[in-house]
């Protein structure tokens, strides 16, 4: 069975920055995520930031777990409350 990889993460960019990035990546034939992976990886390597194994990436625990919603009761219209056209 294939090993499950950790979930992908997301980052936020200004709309103008993302649009410029998209134009560049379309023109050069690379994916946005691939380009960013290479660019960020190179900067981290240059800064001597050690590599991390996928199994060492912590699982995010700050994501709130949806709470159980209470059952709703049907609201019956009061007698005589209806619309006539």
Q: List pLDDT tens digits, range 20-56.
A: 999 999 999 999 999 999 999 999 999 999 998 888 8
* C-alpha closest to that of 41 among 56, 51, 28, 32: 51
Q: For residue 57, give every residue at least 6 positions away whose Cβ sits within 8 Å of its Cβ, in sequence order, or none.
A: 6
pTM, entire model: 0.57
For 5-8, the CB contacts below 8 A with 24+ separation are: 5/54, 6/54, 6/57, 6/59
């Amino acid at each position: 069975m294939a090993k499950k990889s950790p979930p992908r993460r997301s980052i936020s960019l200004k709309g103008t920055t993302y649009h410029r990035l998209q134009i560049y990546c379309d023109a050069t034939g690379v994916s946005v995520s691939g380009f960013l992976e290479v660019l960020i990886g190179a900067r981290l390597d240059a800064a001597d930031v050690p590599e991390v194994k996928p199994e060492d990436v912590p699982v995010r625990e700050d994501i709130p777990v949806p709470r159980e919603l209470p059952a709703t009761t049907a609201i019956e219209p009061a007698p005589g409350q209806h619309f006539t056209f």
